[in-house]
Every structure is written in structure tokens, then in C-alpha cells.
Amino acid sequence: MTELNKSSQPNDSNAPLRDAGLSRLYRSAADEVPPAALDAAILQAARDAVAPPAARVVPWWKRLLVPAGVAATMLFAVMLTLTMERHSPDSVEVSSQKAEPAPAAAAPLSPAQPAVSKGRADQAATARETTPAAMPSAAAPTEKKMKAAPLVRDVDLPQAMPVAPAPATAPVSSADRLAEPATKSESRSSSDGLAAERAPAAAAAPAHEFAAKRATPRAELAWLEEIRQLRQQGRLEEAARRVAEFRRAYPDYPLPEDLK
């Protein structure tokens, strides 16, 4: 034990900080000890604190919790992905596009006149491209009627096919395009079978062209100009048909006097 101070002076102010007699007196009576049970509990706690943790026995079903959870999550993700793919917008559009040709086929006498409204030029182009299936039944009687006529419109159509691949381009010069079929119609007027074969595809070509023109900002004017060209060329029936189409496409557009 460390001696705090050593002094022999009895004066309180200089009294030693340790009193040997008092310490001896205190020690003689200091025999209190803690209960043995209390010490045993303390020592046991000290042992437990440093003892290695015992290996716990995990029930078999608890060991499977994590793998089962992972498997369930993956299964859910796969099912969700498949469901989303089945009901994706792309698949809905494809199915709807496939259904569109049916209404076009329901009007056999007007193969090149699908019901097209303003702003649906692309759908009209697609419908016209898919309408060849309906063309033969519709085009055949019409083509027969027109066979005898000097102006065979369906025969002329194949010649317009080279222009079809550029649907959204600027309006093609109507004079050049219409002039081409006119010159070739004379050489093909005798090949009926050939005309019959080309009628379906040919019928789709001008429709496709006009649909492309509708997509351009100045489509109305070009369309009207083409109608004028047809009239000038004496192709009145075709011109009338084009006027009707124009009216359906642009019901609010005022027709010029010469085209009414």
C-alpha cells in the first residue's frame, strides 16, 4: 500500500494523511466478505464471456429457407418476364395490324379504296400492301370489264410499281408517273393473263403512292394535281374515283371548281 504522507505532528493541519493506528483499528474489524454464491455467479459469468460459442444445431427446414427463397424469387421473375412479353405493346400492335386487312377485304368492289382517314397514311399503305389477297376476286371482274376499254387502269398499275418503294418521299411528278403507264399500256393490252397477274400488285401501287403523298405536307395539292392530269388525259372514271378518295381523306378540304 502506498504511503500517502509521513508526518509526526499531531496538529490536524499537518496530520498525516494515513493514520497507522486508525488503519490498524479498521483492519482488525474489517472481516466482511461477499457471499460464496455471489462470487460463484460472477466467476461463471467470467467463464461464459470468453468461452467459444457452441455450435448451434439448425433445424433442417431452417437450412432450406434461404435456397427456397432464392428459388421462389427467380421463379417469380421468370413468370413476370414471360407475362410481360406476352402482353407487350409490340405483340398487341402486330395482332392488330394483322386484323386490319380483313376490313379492306370486306369491300371487294373497291380494292384500291380502303377506308382511310386523315393522318393514317401508313396504315393505309400497309392495308393496301396486304390487300393483294382480296385483289384477285375483286380485281378480276373489274379487270374484265376494263379489258375491252382502251384505258386499262389495272394494266397500267404494274408500271407504277417501281415508284412504290419510296412511300414517304416528296410527291413524284404526276405527269411523269402517269405518262409511263400510258405509253406502255398499248403494248400490253393484248396480254390478258399478264394483266390479270399484275393487277393485284399493281392495284396496290398507286394506293400506296397516294398514301405516301398524304403523309407529306402538301399532299392535298399534289393529289388534286394528279386528278387534273387524269381528267386531261381523259381518264375520267379514274379521276372520279380519286376525287372520291380525296373527299374521304380530306372531307373538309374545299375542292377546286374544276374538280367538282
Partner 1 sequence: MSAPDLPDEGLMLAYQAGDVSAFERLHQRYRSKLYRYLVHQCNDVRLAEELYQDIWLRVVNARADYEPLAKFSTWLFRIAHHRLIDHYRRSARDKVLLWESAGDENGIEDFPAPAALTPPAQLERLQLKMRIAAALAELPEPQREAFLMAEEGGMSLEEIAKATATGRETVKSRLRYALSKLRHSLKDLL
Q: Which spans of this chain sit near partner 1 (rule: CB under 8 A)?
A: 1-2, 4, 12, 15-19, 21-23, 25-35, 38-39, 41-43, 45-47, 49-50
Number of H helices, E strands in the chain: 13, 0
Closer by beta carbon to partner 1, 41 or else 194: 41
How far apart (Å, rounded) are the C-alpha atoms in residues 143 and 189?
12
Closer by beta carbon to partner 1, 7 or else 232: 7
Minimum gap (Å) between residue 55 Cβ and partner 1: 18
Contact 176, 225 (CB under 8 A): no
Closer by beta carbon to partner 1, 11 or else 187: 11
Closer by beta carbon to partner 1, 49 or else 148: 49
Minimum gap (Å) between residue 9 Cβ and partner 1: 13
Minimum gap (Å) between residue 1 Cβ and partner 1: 4
- What is the Cα Rg of the chain in Å? 50
Minimum gap (Å) between residue 24 Cβ and partner 1: 9
CA end-to-end span of the chain: 129
How far apart (Å, rounded) are the C-alpha atoms in residues 70 and 79?
14
Closer by beta carbon to partner 1, 54 or else 106: 54
Minimum gap (Å) between residue 44 Cβ and partner 1: 10
Q: Give the single-character DSSP code of 168.
A: T
How far apart (Å, rounded) are the C-alpha atoms in residues 228 and 48?
106
Q: Which of 210, 196, 84, 217 is nearest to 139 (CA)?
A: 196
- The total of other beta-carbon atoms located within 10 Å of residue 169's CB is 13
